[in-house]
Structure 1
């Protein structure tokens, strides 16, 4: 009987801890920016010591991120991976594909969908140009966010704390050059690069947004610069932005 009581007590205690952890995760998801332990504790009516212990565990598992200077917490990038898996598993790619194929056929260049995975972007869908000379990135290819047009359009719309995780590890000179580009992208909602990552290749990209308007990826149109140059790309900006908006709406 005593053993049974202990088991029931332990199960109750574990359930309470898990429930509190879920409440903290949900709170951080809804909160406007990073939150401190005191604020989280007061809003959820969980004691500061317990709040601290739970956050420490969540941080260790990558479920929350703690800012170095402010010591405040926000959701960890692992949730981006979870979101991307959901998108793949529930076959939303089937809803997106017609838009990508249409964009490929209209531009006659390679069209790819890149998803945010941790602090990199990964090509998850690619429809290659039917022309004899074409650009191919390759499904599964991972590239840092600060590099290339599709990486930058994702980076530009990340929350301040997630953006900081990328920018703060870059050399100061590179960071100073990148920030104005990100500000421009926020205003225009697209980015162009010519021969930045690959010689003789250019790309035009726009962000894709998911639930609650959070950026989750980017669409990229890429091709050889002798054909897909800045002048040509500018003609297709309206179509790209329209396609990105339609895809984003299908993910809401």
Structure 2
């Protein structure tokens, strides 16, 4: 595993559409119910005037709702049928449910079913085998592909090209915050994972 950086291939995109998508994802990942304009723009790295224009446009289509009292924004009701459509198309939970619940019961642990897209791990299903102890994540929540033990397990078995691409992104959450990454420790953890077929996380 090397850490040399390479320039990414050119990919034409519409800046406004990209910013709108990042804004929606920002609100979706937010642990609080609502966010203000300043917080949103700071999170996705755009000027407040641009953020305000995008929010107004999304509000017109009910993709975003604005609380007139608190001046905060949250995801809108128009996303519900879109989410349902996506779920129907990607509903692997019905196929996997029985097997994963059996695994959860046998291991007395939480079992997650995820879909990987754009370096995000989307939790499509969660099955608990222990009513006293479980993983504190929600169904439909998204985590970065390098987050926690599942991130190590996924990364360990990617091909070298994919590993290098993720390393070049500098978005590495194997040990929590980006600043906490310990490369020597990670190398040992990946070797352990490849040998044993699973990864562990102390967090």
Query: TM-score when scaled to structure 1?
Result: 0.39
Counting helix residues as a fraction of each chain, which structure ranks higher?
1
Decide which structure has the larger Cα Rg and report it. 1
Counting strand residues as a fraction of each chain, which structure ranks higher?
1
